[in-house]
Structure 1
Amino acid sequence: MATLLNTMLIALSKEYSVSESIVTNIIKLFEEGATVPFVARYRKEATGGMSDEQLRSFHGRWQYLVELEKRRVAIIELLKELPDIPPSVFSAIQKASSKTELEDIYAPFKKNRKSKADLAIELGLLPFAIALWRDGQGQGEKHFLALKEQLKEPLEFDTAISGASDIIIERLAQNIATLQQGKLCLQQEGILCSRVLRGKKEAGEKFRDYFDYREPVKKCPAHRLLALFRGKKEGFLKLSIELEGELPYSLNHSLYVTPFGFPEVKDRTSSKEKLAWLTKAWQEKILSKLEADVLAELKEQAEASAIEVFQANLKDLLMAAPAGAKRTLALDPGFRNGVKWAAVDEYGQLLNNGVIYPHPPQNKSAEAEAVLAKVIQNQNIDWLVIGNGTASRETEAFAKQMIQQYQLNCRCVIVSEAGASVYSASPVAIEEFPDLDVTIRGAISIARRFQDPLAELVKIDPQAIGVGQYQHDVKANRLSEALGTVVEDCVNAVGVDLNLASASLLTYVSGLTQRLAQNIIELREQLGGFSNRNQLKKVKGIGDKAFEQCAGFLRIRGGDEPLDASAVHPESYGLVKDMARAVKQELVQMIGNPEAVATLKTATLASAENRFTLQDILQELAKPGRDPRPEFQYASFDDAISSIEDLQEGMTLEGVVTNVAAFGAFVDLGVHQDGLIHISQLADRFVKDPRDEVRIGEVVKVQVLEVDAKRKRIGLKRIL
């Protein structure tokens, strides 16, 4: 176990360019149950100031190495039970650096049924196979006669040759070095080929670009791989990997001169016979196995890339600028079924709701204007927000006309409604508003999302928000876990108002579970609100460890302790107060006063043991509860453009980025169909990653390059 730990420490230390002592500190914290957000924010001295992204990566890699070593030990124990396992096999297992490599080495020894080679070995043909490999078939009859008496049963020479060949071919196909070299060749020089299955052309029309497609394996991007694998999964495409040459090994390659399967043979001479055996092994066994392995790895890599894109987009969406505590009236637009509306106060509490019918077929616009104008005036509404679904531009035109006609003191904006319908039918929404129609719940969600995207979007399954790239083609459990970590990091980066947060939001706070979140809500209702963080210890299930993990991320404004409104952890309160006393200042007067906080720097000198903590404390006191999210901004859609038919090439418009993929960014122009800025049109220079240029929620100016109304495609160029 000590050797295992040392190996992991060295590996992680090299990978993350940190000392082994820091690696030890981080592992200890994780083993004690500390969360990534807590370690990233409040244990910087132990980590050397690693970010939450780095710690997430570290945590995943650490878990992988632990599982790798467990599997290594298990395989060694299994092999010890088998007879005649060469020492070289155990040596290869000890050197294996990945799970895939481990399983490749172990694969030949875990058979469910006997192969032709196994049957030949049982007949006693292994020595004959070794002799043939060493001396060639020219000496075959001589060796056969010498070994004939040792065979388990009488065999003809041709049968013996066939059995020996089976042994040689299987040993070559199981040679780990041969497999590794062959796989490397497929990865570096292989051509990924896609062909349409017979009789599937018409049904698989959407995959027509891949009916006869070839691309180097190493150049195929993740989004194209996922499209190809989707076509394969749906039964329209056949995928394969081809090589320009027939064999990835040269005539004098040591891999087949002294193959792994024949440690008994010391001779290193090559021959055409050996090449012929290797060619047969490649064609009959090795290629099919490696092709399946490489395709599986490509799919795994493409899924990982897709998840990374989804994670990045989700983070941008969750961390989008909040409009803040503004009284808001949200409209969920529609034609025949009307426009559902909901007014909420600055805290997101429902004030009023209803349905209006300003559009065809009812055309009750005057009545609808009167209803909304009255609500806006009576409730002092600041913003009128409209979901960007069907009838959004028509509803925007109606709203602007109403604001002008009634001279209302509010502004109008179109916002994304992605996921609102999912929320409206969810158990969370039903619990919040059991007596309201699902459509009204959707309007409430739109209003609250405008006020605080993070607080509202945590109620929705991240997979339903729709900011991914082929998210339905990746493993659901991996995607769910990855997205959960993004939400957790975002929630803890922003912090949570303990007296306003929903159970959904509290669930993502470091150290809290769904049950603990519900227990907090119940105690909050009993107390009429928390007045200090210490009251958290009265919550059923929150002990010292849970309190340590969650307290710093929960804010209490206007409570008994001023520091409770900040991100300063309770464990540091004593330090902060000692510093204030040292400079003879009142703590209450210093919070939010950068000039006064600056005097604290003279109270104590930061040492290696506390420099990160002191730095964070001073920053937090200067701007307590600071929000890391950007300032709120919104796009102004062109009133003359409401549908794709209104677009013309050369137009310059303003829009909002709704999604970012590996190949470009999608932009809402207010025409019910997002346009695409291809990666080549994002800047006047080479762009490797679109997220280096734009993020979800960003307002951009674009030029229309092409419009295909029939296929609903809009090509855009970003104007810098």
Structure 2
Amino acid sequence: MDDETIKLIKQALPAYKGRQIDVTLNLLNDNNTVPFIARYRKEMTGNLDEVEIREIQDEAKRISKLQQRKQEVLKLITEEEKLTPALANSIQAATQMQQVEDLYLPYKQKRRTKATIAKDAGLYPFAQWVLQYHSDSVTSQAVNYINEKVPDTDSVLAGVHEILAEAIGERAEFREWIRHYTQQNGDLTSKLKRNAADKDENQVYAIYYDFQSALKQLSPYQTLAMNRGEKEGVLNVKINVADDAILNYLNFQLIGRHQGPAVATVTDAYQDAYKRFIAPAIERELRHQLTETAQDHAIQVFGDNLYHLLMQAPLKNHTVMGFDPAYRTGCKLAIMDGNGKYLAKQVIYPHKPAPEKKRAAAMPAFIKLLNDYQVDMIAIGNGTASRESEQFVADAISQVDRDVRYTIVNEAGASVYSASAVARAEFPDFNVEERSAISIGRRLQDPLAELVKIDPKSVGVGQYQHDVPEKHLDQQLDRVVETAVNQVGVDLNRASIELLTHISGLSEQTAANVVAYREENGSFQSRPELKKVPRLGPKAYEQSVGFLRIINGKNILDNTDIHPESYAVTKQVLANLGLQLADVGTPAVATALKNVDPKILSQKLDVGEATLQDILSSLQRPGRDRRDEMPAPILRTDVLKISDLKPGMKLQGTVRNVVDFGVFVDIGVKQDGLVHISHLSNHFVRNPATIASVGDIVTVWVLEVDEQRHRIQLTMVAPND
């Protein structure tokens, strides 16, 4: 990466210090992963987190692509022998790809146009003459340019008009000004297409049948909704802007105070240039820009929701039953121990249309399973027959003489996992529904470990996900999964191949090799043992080892976030505190730290203060799982029906999805309730994600219930507020 490119990156990211950008780019170029840099190179980057590092990474890619295009354009214009020093400087000074394309437009090879035909007919000098605004009659001068290709004055004037209109339409400075003016002053309107009402039987797009919004005030979800309606042939969508100001600008730039016969010719040319060339191009560009911005926003919303879904608190050390509801085919049950190990499975038929005999047998069989395996948590999938199954479970646990609770689990994507190669390899002798019950139960036990086995697009927390570029969405979701997995860390002796694949530095092959080594040689006893795994080289070891935990291994530090490269300084820290390795994780560490100034200690031991702070935190809480700080799932013993809901009722619920217009909350009935953005707070909210995240436990009040349409309106603003 050359100096000019790095200079442009720094100009584009003024919030970062130049040194931070230099160091981050060097670390990335040296094949260090984003999670590794964020966790273990804090002193070098100035404490940049994953989001900030990726911003630098993405900007570097954008600028590199821009610089490459600049060189291509300069080369192409040079080959035409039309590159001037001023044009070269303008291209080099461009900071956006659109500026480069605007400057290149007049020199771009294009199909034969009316303007090029007129130039071939020898009319270009006459067009230049017109722009000199001579006092002579344009028509009288046109006679001098008549030839076999343009046999009369009308043909000459028409050709000159085309030359002028095309030249005006390709002026970069005109396009830039008009683009900016339209952005600031234009509206996007949509109308119901003539005879298209039957294409929208459910009136999905009714709000956009007669819609208008300023471009700069348009919400991303509105853009995507109108795009979809337009694609389906329901809507006509258009950008409108007052032409007068634009035409006045062109008049000032091209004519100014000039007078004479040529003024009318130039006026006709710039008006036609705007109508035929500039306005349609600007509309296409702005529609594309609006769409890209909306898509990026939708991808970001999906990513944020996925992150919070993955970071939900695990339910550890509980024997859990996964309950996959169904009517005709029966409810599939699967029991896992506190470590997620499969114990038993069964199918029961508690619902119609199952025969009476099977329904009667379902309850005692279910209670027997609960007692035989001492199940204390039940995870019920939220699909078909979910609420009937919830009633069945509530009735059953009321007959059990110990504390058993249940919760509704979002089963989105469970069927995708159940039919996948991963599931078939894990449970080859099970049918799809039985694997689904295991997945539902494990989602409650460890959401992260289970959900990484599923395509992130299938987990049901997106917004307009089918209207965004799949490649960009996949890239963002992969980043989110990588961030979540590495922030949490994994148990090296229990992690699946799918989970290990997302660990910094590991590929699918090296993750498979880790599991194969573990199965052949038994549990890892220390982190350095990883070096024995085939094809896991020094770089992969360096990048991954800090995120891999060994519980009850030979070295307690292997169950912390401390990287082995810092073990030596960690022992010095303990010695300075008067402690030993055996004291790690005991109250003795917290007691010893009361009289310690980290800044002074970091200077004494010649270690970065950020690294020292991480070491001290890990010494106090080895094996810490940051998800334990997240809200735990709501566990229930009784059933709430939509008919039980009354306006003003206060409830607790779990946030299932966050979208631009509000938040969907599971309050324990079949349908999630919507807290509209206007009811999230008693002050103005621009972005619902600033108020709630997926997995949050929130207090809500019922506003309105429409049983017929199965819609529940909620508010997070207390009635007395």
What letter corresponds to residue 536 of structure 1 in structure 2?
Answer: L
Cα deviations across residues 460-486 of structure 1 (Å, max 9, x unaligned)? Answer: 111011101111110101000001000
Would you say 1:505 and 2:499 are equivalent positions?
Answer: yes
Distance of 1:636 and 1:93 partners within structure 2? 62
Distance of 1:606 and 1:23 partners within structure 2? 29
Distance of 1:232 and 1:693 partners within structure 2? 32
Distance of 2:549 and 2:117 partners within structure 1? 72
Aligned-partner SS, 1:605: helix
Q: What is the aligned partner in structure 1 of residue 332 from structure 2?
A: 340
Pick closer, same or farther for the CA change 1:137–1:512 going to 2, 3 Å: farther
Q: What is the aligned partner in structure 2 of residue 661 from structure 1?
A: 659
Q: What is the aligned partner in structure 1 of residue 539 from structure 2?
A: 545
TM-score scaled by length of structure 2: 0.93
Aligned with residue 25 of structure 2, among 27, 32, 51: 27
What letter corresponds to residue 689 of structure 2 in structure 1?
Answer: R
Measure how far apart 1:135 and its partner are.
0.9
What letter corresponds to residue 642 of structure 1 in structure 2?
Answer: K
Measure how far apart 1:102 and its partner are.
1.6
Q: What is the aligned partner in structure 1 of residue 426 from structure 2?
A: 432
Would you say 1:373 and 2:367 are equivalent positions?
Answer: yes
Aligned-partner SS, 2:198: coil
Q: What is the aligned partner in structure 1 of residue 212 from structure 2?
A: 214
Aligned with residue 298 of structure 1, among 290, 294, 301: 290
Cα deviations across residues 158-209 of structure 1 (Å, max 9, x unaligned)? Answer: 2111111101100111011111111112211111121233322111232232
Aligned with residue 203 of structure 1, among 199, 202, 207: 199
Aligned-partner SS, 1:202: helix
What letter corresponds to residue 635 of structure 1 in structure 2?
Answer: I
Aligned with residue 229 of structure 2, among 228, 231, 242: 231
CA contact (8 A) 2:647 2:703 kept: yes
Distance of 1:177 and 1:445 partners within structure 2? 59
Count of equivalent residues? 708
What letter corresponds to residue 622 of structure 2 in structure 1?
Answer: P
Measure how far apart 1:9 and its partner are.
5.1
Residues 161-176 of structure 1: pairs in structure 2 closer than 5 A: 161-176=157-172
Residues 588-603 of structure 1: pairs in structure 2 closer than 5 A: 588-592=582-586, 593-596=589-592
Measure how far apart 1:692 and its partner are.
1.6
Distance of 2:135 and 2:240 partners within structure 1? 31
What letter corresponds to residue 72 of structure 1 in structure 2?
Answer: K
Cα deviations across residues 115-173 of structure 1 (Å, max 9, x unaligned)? Answer: 1111111222111101112216953245445x639x79564222111111101100111
Q: What is the aligned partner in structure 2 of residue 317 from structure 1?
A: 309
What letter corresponds to residue 349 of structure 2 in structure 1?
Answer: Y
Distance of 1:656 and 1:251 partners within structure 2? 55
Residues 177-576 of structure 1: pairs in structure 2 closer than 5 A: 177-205=173-201, 206-246=204-244, 248-250=246-248, 255-257=253-255, 271=263, 273-362=265-354, 363=356, 364-576=358-570
Pick closer, same or farther for the CA change 1:247–1:582 going to 2, 3 Å: closer
Q: What is the aligned partner in structure 2 of residue 670 from structure 1?
A: 668
Aligned-partner SS, 2:254: helix
Aligned-partner SS, 1:666: strand
Percent sequence identity is 37
Distance of 2:573 and 2:639 partners within structure 1? 61
Pick closer, same or farther for the CA change 1:303–1:662 going to 2, 3 Å: same
Pick closer, same or farther for the CA change 1:607–1:152 going to 2, 3 Å: farther
What letter corresponds to residue 676 of structure 1 in structure 2?
Answer: L
Q: What is the aligned partner in structure 1 of residue 89 from structure 2?
A: 91
Pick closer, same or farther for the CA change 1:8–1:607 going to 2, 3 Å: farther
Measure how far apart 1:706 and its partner are.
2.5
Pick closer, same or farther for the CA change 1:201–1:608 going to 2, 3 Å: farther
CA contact (8 A) 2:162 2:269 kept: no
Measure how far apart 1:382 and its partner are.
2.3
Distance of 1:683 and 1:268 partners within structure 2? 62
92-101 vs 241-250, greater mean Cα deviation: 241-250
TM-score scaled by length of structure 1: 0.93
Distance of 2:270 and 2:637 partners within structure 1? 68
Measure how far apart 1:710 and its partner are.
4.1
Measure how far apart 1:649 and its partner are.
3.7
Distance of 2:66 and 2:249 partners within structure 1? 36
What letter corresponds to residue 287 of structure 1 in structure 2?
Answer: A
What letter corresponds to residue 219 of structure 1 in structure 2?
Answer: Q
Q: What is the aligned partner in structure 2 of residue 635 from structure 1?
A: 634
CA contact (8 A) 1:388 1:670 kept: no
648-657 vs 378-387, greater mean Cα deviation: 648-657
What letter corresponds to residue 26 of structure 1 in structure 2?
Answer: T
Aligned with residue 145 of structure 2, among 137, 143, 148: 148
What letter corresponds to residue 503 of structure 2 in structure 1?
Answer: V
Distance of 1:357 and 1:705 partners within structure 2? 37
Q: What is the aligned partner in structure 1 of residue 78 from structure 2?
A: 80
CA contact (8 A) 1:597 1:622 kept: no
Unaligned stretches of 5+ residues in structure 1: 259-265
Aligned-partner SS, 1:564: helix
1-10 vs 298-307, greater mean Cα deviation: 1-10
Would you say 1:708 and 2:706 are equivalent positions?
Answer: yes
Cα deviations across residues 64-94 of structure 1 (Å, max 9, x unaligned)? Answer: 1111111111211111111334444323211
Aligned-partner SS, 1:500: coil
What letter corresponds to residue 191 of structure 1 in structure 2?
Answer: D
CA contact (8 A) 2:161 2:265 kept: no
Cα deviations across residues 387-433 of structure 1 (Å, max 9, x unaligned)? Answer: 12222222222222222213133222222222211111111111111
What letter corresponds to residue 614 of structure 2 in structure 1?
Answer: D
Q: What is the aligned partner in structure 2 of residue 10 from structure 1?
A: 10
CA contact (8 A) 1:590 1:597 kept: no
CA contact (8 A) 1:178 1:256 kept: no
Distance of 1:579 and 1:475 partners within structure 2? 50
Distance of 2:35 and 2:593 partners within structure 1? 26
Distance of 1:695 and 1:136 partners within structure 2? 68
Unaligned stretches of 5+ residues in structure 2: none
What letter corresponds to residue 270 of structure 2 in structure 1?
Answer: L
Aligned-partner SS, 2:71: helix
Distance of 2:150 and 2:282 partners within structure 1? 37
Measure how far apart 1:531 and its partner are.
0.9
Q: What is the aligned partner in structure 2 of residue 262 from structure 1?
A: none
CA contact (8 A) 1:131 1:143 kept: no
RMSD: 2.5
Cα deviations across residues 302-348 of structure 1 (Å, max 9, x unaligned)? Answer: 00010111011111101111111311111111222221110001111
Measure how far apart 1:272 and its partner are.
5.6
Aligned-partner SS, 2:338: coil
What letter corresponds to residue 280 of structure 1 in structure 2?
Answer: D
CA contact (8 A) 2:405 2:637 kept: no
Distance of 1:31 and 1:251 partners within structure 2? 47
Distance of 2:35 and 2:453 partners within structure 1? 20
Measure how far apart 1:254 and its partner are.
5.0
Aligned-partner SS, 1:15: coil
Measure how far apart 1:704 and its partner are.
2.4
Q: What is the aligned partner in structure 1 of residue 120 from structure 2?
A: 122
CA contact (8 A) 1:251 1:275 kept: no
CA contact (8 A) 1:247 1:282 kept: no
Q: What is the aligned partner in structure 1 of residue 690 from structure 2?
A: 692
